[in-house]
Amino acid sequence: MQWIDYVGLFGAFLSSVTFVPQVYKAWQTRSTGDLSYWMLLILLGNVSTWLFYGIVKKDLAIIIANAIILSLALILLYFKITFKSKPS
Amino acid sequence: MQWIDYVGLFGAFLSSVTFVPQVYKAWQTRSTGDLSYWMLLILLGNVSTWLFYGIVKKDLAIIIANAIILSLALILLYFKITFKSKPS
């Protein structure tokens, strides 16, 4: 592996954990009113596409990163549907 | 280009527009209380890393997609700092 491939792996790692704090915050506050439904739906389409791309290309970093993001996005969508926004 | 490269381009396009609805929603509602600061900060680190990766690899799709996401993430961070969350 060249040094730039390690940069890519670091990027894949950061991508994987991006939504962890958002899932945690939504879980703690039970409030998801400010989250955009469309963002979550496009995110699901986006990571599903990359997951498919990774599987066809047999690229394990892309597969693992997007499988993690897909799981987090599904959890966020579930929270968005389940937790009603706090009255303002 | 092979067919799977078009899948990658479609993934890059979806990635680019993922945060557009979130920026729009935050702008409309002037409310960002449910957005996680840490998600935005990690997102900035994540897309900066990919932007750097794309520049070194001279991959235009990665550069354009991540430059767009970086701009949207910076706008969201600005909104998060500027718009105070609605009292609940």
Question: Which pLDDT band holds residue B36 (cuts at 50, 70, 90)?
Answer: very high
Across the interface, whether the CB atoms of A39 and B57 are under 8 A apart is answered no
CA angle (B33, A14, A78) in 5-degree steps: 50
Number of structural domains in chain A:
1
Q: Residue B42: give its domain's CATH number.
A: 1.20.1280.290
Count the Cβ atoms, other than its own, within 10 Å of residue B62: 22
Q: What is the pLDDT of residues B10-30, one digit of tens each?
A: 999 999 999 999 999 999 999
Residue B86 has pLDDT above 60, yes or no: no
Instruction: Identify the domain containing residue A24 by its residue range.
Output: 3-82
Supply the ipTM of this predicted assembly: 0.89
Question: Which pLDDT band holds residue B87 (cuts at 50, 70, 90)?
Answer: low
pTM: 0.90
Residue B9 counted as domain residue: no
Shortest distance, CA A2 to any CA of chain B (angstroms): 11
Across the interface, whether the CB atoms of A46 and B15 are under 8 A apart is answered yes
Q: Are B87 and A38 in contact (CB under 8 A)?
A: no
Average pLDDT over residues A17-35: 96
Shortest distance, CA B17 to any CA of chain A (angstroms): 8
Residue B73 counted as domain residue: yes
Residue A81 pLDDT: 95
A36 CB within 8 Å of a chain B CB? yes
Is the torsion defined by CA of A14, A20, A26, A32 positive or negative?
Answer: positive
